[in-house]
């Protein structure tokens, strides 16, 4: 395979690497994302050193312990009396990979009381790098699952509407229009108000996925309906029908495969939108709640004037979104070129 | 320096003494018949406007039906009361009443009104306006929020006109510092509001669409213009009844402009840019940002120390129906145990809240009266340091135990898990809840923080009782305990943990009821203090509210604003708006 196909594979493997890193957040992150260090609020990213205070060079990078200036809230100094070399595959906070495998080894770390805040810390002194990785689990995975749900619904409903036409088409398309017209954000605020208060983390996540997914089926469904409508009048489909093929067979064998290119392109296009939807909902406090991190609720901190003007590292979840989006859009583009090529 | 101190503080005081002893001596620019009050503040220059920002639009300009803070702030600049609580000294002072006498049993107040005063539309003011105003506020059909304040011993205050400038008020029982009752009861113009009142249309009167000529008050400013979604402009009341020592009629400012700036962050930025002249109630983190540029900026910031606001976490102690709210009812078996609440209090790191949420600009609290309330705070309330050990001990005595993985379980073996709700708009409360959640995790409790829109939250707390724990704050308008009767009486509507009880649910609530009623009717201030000290002890022991912190009052204003003396009492910055003036002519045109 060459050309667009090679691009698709390259983008897919980059995305796979990205997803692997957030799914393996446990071992990669140096700390428990919810652990508060109350004497280190808004600590800037920890500096890695090779040269010590006396000018000696060390091959193994090290950090100094960072201590707050007395009486100051967010000003810190390095205590240069002792070096804390970076340790690889060190023991730390316990975690579970995929909720099953328990472990306590971390890729990198430093000995206490020094801290390795690669991306700095937040208001409660929580390690932002660890939170970014764990938050990615929610934001990125929610995006994919919700996109899968929305497109699944779109294929079923759009396919039925396009294939059968008539009242089924009318009904599905009018409902789709209703979904497109509703002011979702306000509706979701209302829904949150009547939901039970204590929803576990897992259920909150699934609810979030379901909400984003169900909200978003209408647009791709209209697209797929159009594809199906034109596919069902193709000659080979009509011929198959003349030979007595059932509706299910026709849909499965001849009609839906025609939409595959569009579906994949749509998938690559809507996943980032749904990642953004999660970010938006959590930003407004409708997604997963504290202390669980998600890129959205992490970004919510940037609304504050002091954070906006003083702590640049708090923008990192927002910055992390850009390469993810670029990758997905490049992938969508590559899919599109691949399907558009005359075979 | 010494001379400046004399000029600024002593001289006005002396002049006031002279003015008062001379019985409101005639002033150069005022007609002799007018009983003007002479302000002791620095003499300023007239002119220019003051630009303020508000986070929402005022909903009404009607002082009888107003409930929201934003509208109230605008209305208080246009209205006046008979006796006023000076926000700076926290003492009562003469306002529309020139003098008053109290009968020996403390139940009859006779007020002498100032003569020759006019409403802002030029119509004369006399006892009939006072009579009408109190009649309106006390009318149950009108449902004004001031009515509660004017009901003493279960009876509405009796009002009688003695002559055109003398009004007599009768209370059903003696009432401590009763003259404070008059604070905030705006005197209404009978000539404008009697007709709508008689036609039962008072609630609709003075909405935002009323033309300026249809409105009048006795305050320093009067309504001029309202541009929806943008601003409301008030102009100088030419008939205002205060004058400065030089004999100039107050207020100094020509216009007050309240602009709509929805977010706190934007308000701070506009203030920093000089587009807004005063900021009130700044959050500690924004205060720090503003402080960074204060040295070179045209503004000055003020940290007034602990105010009267206090934040707390409380549990749902209502009698909920186990059929409709089974989960809440099940958890209430924990919440009702005093040792459980004491354990929560012992485990909360108040110092961390002060540092992380308020950057040190707050005071940790163990009782419900903040140190900002200097007269009434009970300083003997114990302030134990945070101790997880003590918390665990208390939980053990209440029958709780721990599973091998550290999870706290009750006597039936159920894991202790509950949610804390707070309002999504308030970042400080969310941060406090997040810190409490982490503190309680160390006791093996699993706590979820849920943020709700304020109205939904209040509905759950006061009406449906569908919540488990809640982080909220209260702020009394006045330092006296009478201002919080509604919170501490078990029958009160703001008795948050279990409002509007028909009978006190517990012995300590019954005792608080008795103490609060007794302090209200006791005239001797020493005895009152003792009663209220005991209330504070009972609250600290039984912890219906687990108090957390009292934030400092943080404000800022343009440096060239004269007479700016922010106060701990509400309204912190505009309480003396009639005395504010610009030291130099302002070059700015419009906000």
Q: How sure is the predictor about B12, in pLDDT bands with cuts at 50, 70 and 90?
A: very low
Strand locations in B403-506, DSSP E?
Answer: 408-409, 417-423, 446-452, 469-475
The answer to whether A304 contacts B265, with C-beta atoms less than 8 Å apart, is yes
Indicate if the alpha-carbon torsion angle B236, B239, B240, B244 is positive or negative: positive
Is B345 near chain A, with CB under 8 Å?
Answer: no
3-class SS of residue B151: strand
Percent helix, percent strand, percent coil in chain A, to nearest 5: 60, 15, 25
State the architecture of B309-551 in CATH terms.
Answer: Roll (3.10)
Instruction: Give the pair of three-digit tokens for residue A207.
Output: 């609810």
Is B468 near chain A, with CB under 8 Å?
Answer: yes
- Rounded distance, CA B246 to CA B248, Å? 6
The answer to whether A290 contacts B438, with C-beta atoms less than 8 Å apart, is no
Interface of B with A in 135-164 (CB under 8 A): none
Ordered by start, the domain boundaries in chain A are: 46-116, 132-340
- Rounded distance, CA B150 to CA B140, Å? 12
Expressed in angstroms, the distance from the first to the final Cα of chain A is 13
- CA of A207, closest CA in chain B: separation in Å? 15
Interface of B with A in 253-282 (CB under 8 A): 264-265, 268-269
Q: How sure is the predictor about B1, in pLDDT bands with cuts at 50, 70 and 90?
A: very low
Ordered by start, the domain boundaries in chain B are: 79-203, 309-551
Residues of B with CB below 8 A from A197's CB? 419, 421, 448, 450, 466-468
Cβ neighbors of B58 (< 8 A, separation 6 or more) are: B68, B70, B71, B73, B74, B75, B208, B232, B258
Residue B173 C-beta-side C-alpha neighbours within 13 Å: 13
- Rounded distance, CA B498 to CA B504, Å? 10
The residue of chain B nearest to residue A291, with distances taken between CA atoms, is: B434
The alpha carbon of residue A326 and the mean position of all alpha carbons in its chain are separated, in whole angstroms, by 13
State the architecture of A132-340 in CATH terms.
Answer: Orthogonal Bundle (1.10)
pLDDT reading at B161 higher than 70: yes
The answer to whether A289 contacts B360, with C-beta atoms less than 8 Å apart, is no
pLDDT tens digits in sequence order for chain A, 343 residues long: 456 678 889 999 999 999 999 999 999 999 999 999 999 999 999 999 999 989 999 999 999 999 999 888 889 999 999 999 999 999 999 998 877 888 999 999 999 899 999 999 999 999 999 999 999 988 888 889 999 999 999 999 999 999 898 899 999 999 999 988 888 778 777 776 677 776 766 777 788 788 888 888 998 999 999 989 888 888 888 898 888 888 888 888 888 888 888 888 888 888 888 888 888 887 776 777 778 898 888 888 888 888 988 999 999 988 988 889 999 999 988 888 887 765 4
The answer to whether B288 contacts A73, with C-beta atoms less than 8 Å apart, is yes
Residues of A with CB below 8 A from B469's CB? none
Q: Taking the CB of residue B169, how many other CB atoms lie within 10 A of it?
A: 24
3-class SS of residue B454: helix
The alpha carbon of residue A170 and the mean position of all alpha carbons in its chain are separated, in whole angstroms, by 35
Query: Which of B421, B424, B438 is nearest residue A36 as measured by Cβ atoms?
Result: B438
DSSP state letters, B531-588: HHHHHHHHHHHH-SEEE-EEEEEEEEEETTEET----SSSSTTTTTGGG-EESS----
Residues of A engaging B, defined by a Cβ cutoff of 8 Å: 34, 36, 38, 41, 73, 123-125, 189, 192-193, 196-199, 284-285, 289-291, 303-310
Residues of A with CB below 8 A from B349's CB? 38
The pLDDT value recorded for residue A253 is 85
Q: Taking the CB of residue B130, how many other CB atoms lie within 10 A of it?
A: 26
Interface test with A, best of B290, B433, B434 (most A CBs within 10 A): B434
Taking domain B79-203, whether its CATH number is 3.90.76.10 is answered by yes
Query: Which of B264, B356, B453 is nearest residue A193 as measured by Cβ atoms?
Result: B453
- Whether omega before B571 lies within 30 degrees of 0, making that bond cis, reads yes
Domains B79-203 and B309-551 share a fold: no
Q: Is A166 left (phi over 0), alpha (psi -120 to 50) or beta?
A: left
Query: Which of A198, A285, A308 is nearest residue B419 as measured by Cβ atoms?
Result: A198
Q: Helices marked H in B35-144 — which ranges?
A: 69-76, 127-138
């Amino acid at each position: 395979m060459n050309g667009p196909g090679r691009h698709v594979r390259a983008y897919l493997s980059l995305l796979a690497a990205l997803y692997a890193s957030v799914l393996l957040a446990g071992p990669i992150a140096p700390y428990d994302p919810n652990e508060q260090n109350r004497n280190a609020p808004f600590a800037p990213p920890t500096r890695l050193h090779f040269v010590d205070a006396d000018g000696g060079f060390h091959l193994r990078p090290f950090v100094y312990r960072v201590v707050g200036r007395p009486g100051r809230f967010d000003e810190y100094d390095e205590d240069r009396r002792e070096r804390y070399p970076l340790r690889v595959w060190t023991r730390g906070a316990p975690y579970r990979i995929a909720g099953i495998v328990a472990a306590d080894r971390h890729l990198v770390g430093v000995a206490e009381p020094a801290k390795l805040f690669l991306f700095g810390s937040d208001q409660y002194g929580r390690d932002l790098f660890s939170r970014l990785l764990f938050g990615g689990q929610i934001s990125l995975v929610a995006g994919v699952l919700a996109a899968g749900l929305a497109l699944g619904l779109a294929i079923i409903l759009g396919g039925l509407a396009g294939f059968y036409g008539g009242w089924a088409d009318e009904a599905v398309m009018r409902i789709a229009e209703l979904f497109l017209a509703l002011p979702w954000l306000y509706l979701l605020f209302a829904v949150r108000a009547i939901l039970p208060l204590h929803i576990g983390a897992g259920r909150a996540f699934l609810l979030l996925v379901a909400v984003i997914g169900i909200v978003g089926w209408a647009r791709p469904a209209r697209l797929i309906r159009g594809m199906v409508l034109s596919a069902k009048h193709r000659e080979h489909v009509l011929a198959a029908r003349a030979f007595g093929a059932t509706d299910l067979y026709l849909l499965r064998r001849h009609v839906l495969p025609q939409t595959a290119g569009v579906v994949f392109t749509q998938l690559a296009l809507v996943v980032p939108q749904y990642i953004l939807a999660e970010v938006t909902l959590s930003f407004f406090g409708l997604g997963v709640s504290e202390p669980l991190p998600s890129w959205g609720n992490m970004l919510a901190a940037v609304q504050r004037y002091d954070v906006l003007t003083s702590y640049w590292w708090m923008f990192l979840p927002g910055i992390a979104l850009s390469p993810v989006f670029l990758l997905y859009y490049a992938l969508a583009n590559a899919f599109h070129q691949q399907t558009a090529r005359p075979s | 320096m010494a001379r400046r101190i004399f000029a600024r503080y002593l001289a006005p005081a002396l002049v006031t003494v002279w003015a008062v002893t001379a019985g409101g001596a005639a002033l150069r620019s005022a007609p002799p018949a007018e009983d003007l009050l002479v302000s002791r503040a620095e003499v300023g220059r007239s002119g220019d406007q003051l630009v303020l920002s508000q986070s929402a639009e005022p909903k009404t300009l009607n002082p009888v039906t107003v409930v929201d803070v934003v509208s109230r702030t605008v209305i208080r600049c246009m209205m006046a009361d008979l006796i006023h609580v000076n926000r700076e000294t926290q003492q009562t002072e003469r306002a529309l009443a020139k003098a008053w006498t109290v009968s020996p049993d403390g139940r009859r107040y006779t007020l002498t009104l100032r003569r020759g005063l006019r409403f802002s539309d030029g119509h004369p003011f006399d006892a009939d306006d006072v009579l009408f105003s109190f009649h309106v506020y006390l009318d149950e059909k009108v449902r004004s929020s001031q009515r509660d304040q004017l009901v003493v011993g279960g009876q509405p205050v009796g009002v009688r006109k003695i002559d055109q400038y003398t009004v007599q008020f009768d209370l059903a029982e003696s009432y401590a510092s009763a003259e404070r009752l008059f604070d905030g009861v705006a005197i209404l113009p009978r000539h404008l509001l009697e007709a709508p009142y008689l036609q039962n249309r008072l609630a609709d009167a003075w909405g935002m669409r009323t033309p300026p000529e249809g409105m009048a008050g006795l305050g320093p400013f009067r309504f001029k213009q309202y541009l929806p979604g943008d601003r409301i402009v008030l102009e100088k009341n030419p008939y205002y009844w205060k004058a400065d020592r030089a004999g100039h009629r107050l207020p100094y400012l020509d216009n007050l402009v309240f602009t709509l700036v929805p977010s706190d962050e934007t308000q701070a930025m506009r203030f920093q840019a000089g587009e807004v002249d005063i900021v009130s109630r700044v959050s500690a983190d924004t205060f720090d940002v503003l402080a960074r540029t204060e040295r070179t900026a045209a503004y000055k910031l003020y940290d007034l120390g602990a105010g009267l606001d206090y934040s707390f976490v409380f549990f749902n102690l209502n009698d909920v129906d186990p059929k409709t709210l089974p989960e809440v009812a099940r958890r209430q078996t924990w919440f009702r145990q005093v040792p459980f609440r004491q354990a929560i209090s012992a485990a909360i790191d108040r110092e961390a809240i002060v540092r992380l949420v308020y950057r040190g600009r707050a005071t940790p609290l163990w009782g419900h009266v903040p140190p900002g309330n200097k007269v009434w705070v009970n300083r003997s309330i114990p302030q134990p340091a945070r101790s997880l050990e003590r918390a665990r001990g208390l939980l053990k005595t209440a029958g709780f135990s721990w599973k091998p993985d550290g999870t706290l379980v009750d006597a039936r073996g159920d894991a202790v898990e509950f949610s804390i709700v707070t309002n999504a708009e308030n970042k400080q409360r969310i941060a406090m809840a997040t810190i409490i959640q982490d503190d309680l995790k160390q006791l093996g409790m699993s706590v979820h923080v849920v943020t709700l829109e304020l109205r939904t939250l209040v509905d759950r707390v006061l009406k449906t009782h569908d919540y488990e724990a809640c982080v909220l704050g209260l702020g009394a308008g006045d330092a006296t305990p009478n201002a919080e009767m509604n919170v501490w009486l078990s029958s009160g509507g703001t008795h948050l943990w279990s409002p509007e009880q028909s009978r006190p649910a517990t012995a300590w609530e019954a005792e608080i009821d008795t103490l609060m009623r007794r302090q209200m009717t006791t005239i001797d201030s020493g005895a009152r203090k003792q009663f209220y000290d005991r209330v504070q002890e009972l609250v600290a022991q039984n912890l219906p509210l687990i108090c957390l912190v009292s934030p400092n009052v943080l404000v800022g204003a343009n440096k060239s604003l004269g007479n700016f003396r922010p106060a701990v009492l509400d309204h912190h910055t505009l309480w003396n708006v009639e005395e504010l003036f610009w030291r130099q002519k302002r070059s700015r045109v419009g906000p």
